[in-house]
């Protein structure tokens, strides 16, 4: 590295030389960016690999090359009386988001220059892929997130190729590719985790026949980790074992004997081998694995192979007048896993029932649901959690009057299965939420007005402390009341609003928090909406543990559309907080002013 100072500590480079170095570095970045982009565009033209679905049925009508997007310049000014301001006194930012389209396939780019951070560039070729479509055939090439089933191939990103055919009522899909890239970064010095990944590949397919109202579907997934060239001692010391997975499933939906009544279900069984290098014992595997005869021909198993099941079903009834009811069941084994899914929540049984119905010529609508869920299906956990979830909603709407009412209840009860953990694992919690929002509105050809009242109450009860202190546990209550008004004048292009809200939060321990605030705003446009101006202001007071805080805010903004492609905006903001505010979390005595000027060119 070259010295920037001589022995007498005088700079060897003049300030303008440093400036030239800065812009030369930016030029090099731009040159590299342009060269890489050009190469990638050529690669795109010949290989058609970008992360987008493209229909080539009408490709002749599409433009060969088109460029669109925007470029913006922002100038920011900030002043505050605090010692270490949150923003610089002056800042500029130049941003751009051009989009190159080749025969209708969009390739978005982005860049940013600022005196507050390093220049950045963005381009869409880090992970690329395309799904060209011609009539009822679609090909998937490159990086794709394909979904065949929520229990099999469920959107895990794959680098590979696939084909999907949709002739008539048929849907035939198949894909093959890489799910994980082989890598080894050694052992993390902080966490001690061995960062080793085997290359993981998978093949998946799906066959479906029918429509959205009635269909039958089968799917499968076969995934495997490849050992690669990892040294044997590295594999043994890492604790990361190469795995394999085979998933097969069935799904269907069918109408039943009553019009509007239908049943749909999806199920899957997953065979997972945790170590493909382990020994094999056919007699043991045939005795404990279902479908072992079929499995032997399709999938290599050994002593580390386990199987898991997942199933769900839904009985649904819909009446032509709008009444709907359903009953849904779901069961997923503990440790259920599929290499085609990022995560599947297992160890649960869930039962849900609900209904919705309109009344009085669609003016009233009510809906409700109740659900029950529990875990610890194999009785190996130290505690079993039971959850009840209920909700109810009602709404009434007419020309002038409307009201929305909702109630939500959630309770969780965790019961220990081992006596010595009875005190530490016993948890009982209940949460209830009630909301009511009546409103009244009136309008004519010249104006619109609406007044709305909002009332909310939330109660959280934790009874887990009963066995410790003999009390009823902790009870936290939150109540909120708000009144809001919105209005507009059509001819004057004027909108205005005002509102006030009050919040009260307390519990049995004596903790108390109160907040009272009000705000007002107005917005108007002129010259056929080319010129606009707005003003918003508010006052907020908070009370917490004998501390009072008051906060004032004022924002003025305006915009002018210079041409069809050039838009300018101005924003002025003032904020003060004489005391410590729980809303803004600002220090005592702060006063700040901020101004932003924006200029955007769209093309």
Report if residue 370 sits inside a domain.
Answer: no
Closest CA to 44 of 64, 15, 71, 19: 64
Tell me whether residue 229 is in a domain: yes
Pair (149, 113) in one structural domain = no
Least confident of 23-37, 192-206, 433-447, 481-495: 23-37
Q: Are residues 115 and 148 in the same domain?
A: no
Residue-wise pLDDT for 167-188, tens only, equals 999 999 999 999 998 887 666 6
* pTM for the structure as a whole: 0.74
Domain span holding position 231:
136-185+195-315
What's the pLDDT at 48? 37
User: Do 30 and 118 belong to one domain?
Assistant: yes
End-to-end CA distance of the chain: 44
Structural domains of the chain, count:
3
Evaluate if residue 16 carries a pLDDT over 50: no
Rounded CA separation 545/543 (Å):
7
DSSP letter for each residue of 293-309 = HHHHHH----TTEEEEE
Q: What is the mean pLDDT of the chain?
A: 82
Same domain, 227 and 277: yes
Structure tokens at 505: 């939060």
Q: In Å, how far are 22, 28, 83, 92, 118 from 115, measured between CA atoms? A: 11, 18, 21, 6, 8
Smallest Cα–Cα separation from 40: which of 140, 110, 127, 131? 127
Cα-based distances in Å from 199 to 182, 202, 230, 598: 4, 10, 11, 48
Residue 249 and residue 231: Cα distance in Å, rounded?
Answer: 37
pLDDT tier at 107 (50, 70, 90 boundaries)? confident
C-alpha dihedral sign at 307, 308, 314, 315: positive
Whole-number Å distance between alpha carbons of 439 and 449: 11
Cα 329 to chain centroid, rounded: 26
Tell me the range of 14-18, 114-118, 253-257, 460-464 where mean pLDDT is highest: 253-257
Beta strands in 281-382 (DSSP E): 305-318, 324-332, 348-359, 364-374
Are residue 296 and residue 149 in the same domain, yes or no? Answer: yes
Cβ contact 110:121 at 8 Å: yes
8 A C-beta contact, residue 508 and residue 474: yes
Are 292 and 305 a contacting pair, CB within 8 Å?
no
Final residue belonging to a domain, choices 261, 289, 315: 315
Strand order in the sheet with 65-68: 65-68, 99-102, 105-108
241 and 157 part of one domain: yes
Q: What's the mean pLDDT in 415-430?
A: 59
CA distances from 139 to 162, 181, 333 (A): 6, 23, 34
Distance between CA atoms of residues 467 and 415, nearest Å: 13
Question: What pLDDT does 430 receive?
Answer: 87
- pLDDT range class, residue 231, cuts 50, 70, 90: low
Q: Are residues 159 and 294 in the same domain?
A: yes
**Given this model, what pLDDT does residue 47 score?**
39
Query: Average pLDDT in the 331-335 region?
Result: 94
* CA angle at 157 for the pair 154 and 161, rounded to the nearest 5°: 100
**Residue 200 pLDDT more than 90?**
yes
Q: Is residue 440 part of a domain?
A: no
- Of 315, 348, 383, the residue that ends a domain is 315
In this structure, are strands 52-55 and 129-134 parallel, antiparallel, or unpaired? parallel
In sequence order, what E strands does 31-167 have? 52-55, 65-68, 70-80, 90-96, 99-102, 105-108, 110-114, 120-122, 129-134, 137-147, 154-165
323 vs 224, 318, 371, CA distance in Å? 48, 6, 20
Dihedrals φ, ψ of 445, to 5°? -70, -15
Question: What is the C-alpha separation between 64 and 45, in angstroms, rounded?
Answer: 11
Task: Look up tokens 């080793």; give the residue.
Answer: 196
Residue 394, domain member (yes or no): no
What SS3 string covers 372-429?
Answer: EEECCCCCCCCEEEEEEEEEEEEEEECCCEEEEEEEEEEEEEEEECCHHHHHHHCEEE
What would you report as the CA-atom Rg of the chain, rounded to the nearest whole angstrom? 32
For residues 105 and 234, membership in a common domain is answered with no
Select from 264, 283, 315 the last residue of a domain: 315
- What is the spatial distance between Cα 231 and Cα 426, in angstroms, rounded to a whole number? 48
Give residue 303's pLDDT band: very low, low, confident or very high (50, 70, 90): confident
Whether 70 and 157 share a structural domain: no
Structure tokens at 568: 């300018």
- Please state whether beta strands 244-255 and 261-273 pair in parallel, antiparallel, or not at all (unpaired): antiparallel
Q: Per mean pLDDT, which range of 232-241, 535-544, 575-584 is the poorest?
A: 575-584
Residues 31 and 176 in one domain: no
* Residue 42 covered by a domain: yes
444-488 pLDDT, tens per residue? 999 999 999 999 999 988 766 544 445 556 788 999 999 999 999
42 and 93 both lie in a single domain: yes
Among left, alpha and beta (phi > 0; psi -120 to 50; other), residue 445 is alpha
Q: Is residue 425 part of a domain?
A: no
In a domain, 428, yes or no: no
Is residue 539 a part of any domain in this protein? yes
Are 26 and 156 members of one domain?
Answer: no
């Amino acid at each position: 590295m070259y010295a920037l100072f001589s022995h007498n500590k005088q700079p060897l480079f003049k300030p303008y030389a440093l400036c030239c170095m800065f812009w030369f570095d930016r030029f090099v970045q731009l040159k590299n960016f342009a060269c890489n982009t050009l190469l990638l565009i050529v690669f795109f033209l010949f290989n058609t690999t970008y992360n987008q679905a493209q229909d080539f049925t009408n490709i002749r009508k599409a433009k060969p090359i088109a460029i669109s997007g925007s470029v913006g310049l922002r100038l920011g000014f900030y002043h505050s009386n605090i010692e270490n301001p949150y923003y610089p006194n002056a800042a500029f930012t130049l941003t751009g988001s051009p989009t190159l389209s080749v025969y209708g396939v969009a390739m978005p780019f982005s860049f940013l220059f600022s005196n507050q951070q390093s220049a950045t560039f963005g381009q869409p070729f880090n992970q690329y892929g395309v799904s060209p479509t011609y009539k009822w055939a679609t090909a998937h090439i490159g990086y794709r997130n394909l979904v065949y089933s929520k229990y099999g191939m469920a959107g895990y990103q794959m680098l590979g190729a696939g084909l999907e055919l949709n002739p008539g009522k048929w849907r035939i899909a198949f894909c093959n590719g890489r799910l994980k890239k082989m890598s080894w970064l050694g052992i993390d010095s902080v966490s001690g985790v061995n960062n080793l990944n085997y290359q993981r590949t998978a093949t998946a397919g799906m066959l479906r026949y029918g429509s959205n109202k009635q269909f039958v579907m089968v799917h499968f997934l076969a995934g495997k980790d490849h050992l690669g060239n990892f040294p044997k001692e590295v594999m043994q010391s890492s604790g990361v074992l190469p795995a394999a997975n085979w998933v097969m499933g069935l799904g269907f939906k069918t109408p039943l004997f009553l019009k509007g009544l239908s049943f749909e279900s999806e199920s899957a069984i997953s065979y997972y081998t945790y170590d493909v290098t382990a020994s094999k014992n056919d007699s043991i595997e045939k005795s404990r694995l279902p479908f072992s005869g079929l499995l032997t021909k399709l999938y290599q198993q050994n002593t580390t192979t386990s199987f898991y099941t997942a199933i769900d079903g839904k009985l649904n009834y819909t009446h032509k007048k709008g009444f709907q009811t359903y009953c849904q069941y779901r069961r997923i084994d503990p440790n259920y896993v599929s290499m085609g899914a990022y995560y599947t929540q297992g160890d649960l049984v869930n039962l849900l029932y609900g209904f919705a119905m309109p009344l009085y010529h669609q003016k009233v609508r009510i809906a409700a649901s109740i659900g029950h869920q529990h875990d610890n299906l194999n009785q190996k956990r130290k505690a079993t959690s039971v959850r009840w979830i209920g909700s109810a909603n009602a709404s009434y709407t007419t020309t002038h009057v409307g009201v929305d009412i909702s109630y939500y209840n959630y309770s969780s009860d965790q019961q220990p299965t081992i006596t010595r953990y009875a005190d530490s694992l016993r948890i009982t919690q209940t949460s209830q939420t009630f909301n009511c929002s009546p409103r009244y509105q009136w309008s004519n050809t010249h104006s619109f007005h609406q007044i709305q009242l909002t009332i909310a109450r939330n109660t959280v009860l934790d009874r887990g402390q009963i066995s410790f202190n003999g009390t009823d546990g902790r009870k936290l209550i939150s109540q909120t009341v708000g009144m809001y008004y919105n209005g507009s004048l059509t001819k004057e292009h004027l909108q205005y609003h005002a509102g006030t809200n009050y919040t009260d939060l307390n519990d049995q321990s004596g903790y108390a928090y109160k907040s009272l605030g009000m705000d007002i705003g107005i917005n108007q446009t002129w010259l056929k909406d080319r010129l606009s101006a707005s003003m918003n202001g508010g006052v907020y007071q908070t009370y917490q543990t004998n501390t009072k805080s008051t906060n004032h805010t004022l924002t003025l903004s305006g915009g002018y559309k210079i041409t069809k492609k050039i838009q300018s905006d101005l924003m002025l903001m003032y904020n003060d907080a004489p005391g410590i505010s729980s809303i803004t979390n600002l220090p005592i005595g702060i006063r700040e002013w901020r101004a932003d000027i924006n200029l955007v060119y769209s093309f």
